[in-house]
Structure 1
Amino acid sequence: MMLAPDREGATSDGPAREPRAPQGRRPRQRYGAAMKVVRRAHMYLGLLVFPWILLFGISGVLFNHPQIGRDFERRSISAEQVSALTAFRPWDPDAVARKVVEQLNAGSASRYTLDASTPGAFSGWPELIGSTSDGGRTMVLIRLDDGAATLSTFPPEPAKAPDPPFAGATVELPEHRMAAVEAQVKHLLPKLGIDGAGPLRAHPKVSPELRFRMRDADGRLWNVTYDLGAGRLDGRLDGAAGQPLFVELLGMLHKTHHFPVHGGMTWIWALFADITGITLVLWALTGLAMWWQMKPSRVVGAIAVAVAIAVAAVVMSGTASDIVFGKVEKGGA
């Protein structure tokens, strides 16, 4: 006859034995603790940068829909109407391509032929600007291949800030221009031991500017910029009208990037842009980890992830091919 154990795990005829811990308890505890960290990171990073995520998300949509938040009217004009009202007729991209190749062959020793497997296509559209009687402006975009057009009518521009009286003036400071910097450091690379390096040249289009404020004889405060490349002055009256629309300001913020040489709010902006990008990456990874934790949804989730990867690969590769078509990457700063 077996003896029943008492509450302490001991039988009536033997010493008490300590209960054994369930197998694998510690790995499960570590896994639970790790997933807790994952969920907290997922949540608190989102709370930290949610204003930046909203800004980048909204401004990104506005790039594709510029009519939102702007006061203008847009209407479509059919190809038949364009043809009836103007002398414009749609162009055949393949016919234009053939003429281009014919002209190229006429002035070259090489012989080129069109690739019949790739049909010609227009990228972009003609943009034609006009004006209205009330001081507004119009913009017409025409599709070259089918003749249809889009007409946008803009109201008169609001009052702009007055141009500074010194706008466009040139101040010659030879010792404080990019030409002076170039002359002083052009032989830096050989001195640093870089074999075969030629002299440094100042970028023809990119140059820093000096920013400062000054008051005129009437006591008005001007925000002044001095182009250290061209030596030209520009500026605006501090606090004057003519600020960009809110949607335009969102777009400007969206496109602001790079860490400035010196600190300031722009440096902090770039820092939060980095944090936002890192957060989006972590969201994707922690989202996968949290999905994997839910066993009932693993199969459906795996199908969704596979579909997402396939769609992203097709769309991204196709868009990348369209972007780089006919373009050669050039070096630059």
Structure 2
Amino acid sequence: MSSDLPDTSTPPERPARSPKRYALVMKLVRRTHMYLGLLLFPWLLVFGISGMLFNHPNLGEDVKVRELSSEQLRSLTGLEPVQAGEIAREVVARLNAQNNGQGGAYQLDPGFESSFSGFTVLLAPGEGENHIFIVDLKDGTATLSTRNTGASKPQETAPFAGATVSLPNHSMAAIESKVAQLLPKLDVQAKTPLRASPRGAPEVRFRMTDAQQRAWNVTYNLGSGRLDGRPTEATPEISANELLTKLHKTHHYPLDVGFTWVWALFADITGLMIVFWAVSGLFMWWQMKPTRVIGVGAISLAVGLGLFFIGGTIAELHFGNVQKRTGPGDGQPPPAQAKPAAAAARPVGAVPAPEVMTRSESDDH
């Protein structure tokens, strides 16, 4: 018999999100956020400090800086301040004169402000020091920096340093010759045969002893055939600034697993960690309900500022005819190959002339 009473049975509830599982996930995020930071503490310090040193290459270095006012520079050299717009007008005028009226006359865009980009740098080597002269063309001022390149104690030169040894079967020229027809055989179209990258050739590193049983760390360049090295027990004298920037610029995985390979691995992990920090920080912030409104405002401000300044920087970097990077060498002509050992200017054992620059010129300014 059917009942006229209403059905009071409770409908089955949907399974709610497990609070235990959510708490476990957030606990895992917080622990990973913290312990990865502790694990990568040395790398974070190195990349953080060395990144700032690129903007301050003279910090911690033995550098004497002398400022020259526009009046001093004018009286000593005759250099006058010049505006970028003035140079631009002269360039357009000369360009129109060269065209002789063909193709229409060019006109300077009055709505765009001409400006200088880059540094006006002049270099002069000295005895145990290098001089870097940077001119501000717009203001007519200048800075003369003198960087000490001499070591605090005399550095012993390897008796074989600078000598060349010709190994025709193992040189970069021999490798070029053997792979000259590789691309056509692989049905790959190229304007030239494969050439050695101008950015540097591989080195063979080995250790040898002399007649006095003294050990030497030796490098042999397969591109130039040039030898160099130092006593094994000697420690190169480089500043903390240069050491940190060298570590920062060390990249790519070597073919053999070693200290540099592991360094590249931890550099990748550090980069991923920074991304994880940013994302996990958002999750940790969202858990704190009292700070959500303020956090939304802070994130909105950060995103807005980031888009504004990143976009402006990219626009400045892409102002000229920027070419897509094509890889090592970027289509540049290969370096000149070394002459055979018999034609070398200096035999093995002669002392080489000192190097003019001990650091890359880009690091000096």
How far 1:280 sits from its partner (Å)? 0.4
Q: What is the 5 A alignment of 1:122-141?
A: 122-129=116-123, 136-141=129-134
Equivalence for 1:55: 46
In 2, the alpha carbon distance for the partners of 1:166 and 1:305 equals 60
Q: Aligned in 2, Cα 1:75/1:23: closer, same or farther, shift over 3 Å? A: farther
Are positions 1:39 and 2:34 aligned together? no
In 1, the alpha carbon distance for the partners of 2:229 and 2:307 equals 46
- Report which of the two has the higher share of helix: 1
Equivalence for 1:332: 327
Q: What letter corresponds to residue 33 of structure 1 in structure 2?
A: L
Are positions 1:80 and 2:75 aligned together? no
In 2, the alpha carbon distance for the partners of 1:138 and 1:49 equals 39
Q: Aligned in 2, Cα 1:135/1:222: closer, same or farther, shift over 3 Å? A: closer
Could you tell me whether the CA contact under 8 Å between 1:77 and 1:148 is conserved in 2? yes
Equivalence for 1:103: 94
Q: What is the 5 A alignment of 1:1-333?
A: 26-108=17-99, 110=103, 111-129=105-123, 136-155=129-148, 157-158=150-151, 159=153, 161-192=155-186, 194=187, 196=189, 199-240=193-234, 242-326=236-320, 327-333=322-328
Deviation string 1:144-179 (CA, Å, 9 cap, x unpaired) is 111122233445722452333323322221110122
How far 1:24 sits from its partner (Å)? 6.5
Q: Aligned in 2, Cα 1:129/1:177: closer, same or farther, shift over 3 Å? A: closer
In 1, the alpha carbon distance for the partners of 2:180 and 2:129 equals 50
How far 1:191 sits from its partner (Å)? 4.1
How far 1:104 sits from its partner (Å)? 3.5
In 2, the alpha carbon distance for the partners of 1:183 and 1:54 equals 46
Q: Which moved more, 1:118-127 or 1:273-282?
A: 118-127
Count of aligned pairs between the two proteins = 311
Cα RMSD, aligned residues only: 2.7
| Structure 2 gap segments, 5+ residues each | 1-12, 329-365
Could you tell me whether the CA contact under 8 Å between 1:223 and 1:238 is conserved in 2? yes
In 2, the alpha carbon distance for the partners of 1:195 and 1:155 equals 50
- In structure 2, the residue corresponding to 1:38 is in which secondary structure? helix
In 2, the alpha carbon distance for the partners of 1:64 and 1:86 equals 29
How far 1:64 sits from its partner (Å)? 1.3
How far 1:264 sits from its partner (Å)? 0.6
- In structure 2, the residue corresponding to 1:114 is in which secondary structure? coil
| Structure 1 gap segments, 5+ residues each | 1-21
In 1, the alpha carbon distance for the partners of 2:24 and 2:52 equals 38
- In structure 2, the residue corresponding to 1:319 is in which secondary structure? helix
Could you tell me whether the CA contact under 8 Å between 1:125 and 1:141 is conserved in 2? yes
How far 1:131 sits from its partner (Å)? 7.5
In 2, the alpha carbon distance for the partners of 1:168 and 1:292 equals 62
Deviation string 1:116-141 (CA, Å, 9 cap, x unpaired) is 32222222232344578x96554332
In 1, the alpha carbon distance for the partners of 2:156 and 2:128 equals 18
How far 1:197 sits from its partner (Å)? 5.5
Identity among equivalent positions (%) equals: 50
In 2, the alpha carbon distance for the partners of 1:75 and 1:41 equals 50
Could you tell me whether the CA contact under 8 Å between 1:160 and 1:242 is conserved in 2? no
Q: Aligned in 2, Cα 1:87/1:287: closer, same or farther, shift over 3 Å? A: same
Normalised to the residue count of structure 2, the TM-score between the two structures is 0.76
Deviation string 1:61-85 (CA, Å, 9 cap, x unpaired) is 1111223212333353332333344
Normalised to the residue count of structure 1, the TM-score between the two structures is 0.83
- In structure 1, the residue corresponding to 2:29 is in which secondary structure? helix
Q: What letter corresponds to residue 292 of structure 1 in structure 2?
A: W
Q: Which moved more, 1:87-96 or 1:66-75?
A: 66-75
- In structure 1, the residue corresponding to 2:132 is in which secondary structure? strand
Which is bigger in relative contact order (C-alpha 8 A, separation at least 6)?
Answer: 2
Deviation string 1:297-329 (CA, Å, 9 cap, x unpaired) is 111101111111111111112222222332323
Q: Which moved more, 1:117-126 or 1:160-169?
A: 160-169
Q: What letter corresponds to residue 136 of structure 2 in structure 1?
A: R
Deviation string 1:263-295 (CA, Å, 9 cap, x unpaired) is 110000000001100100000000011001111
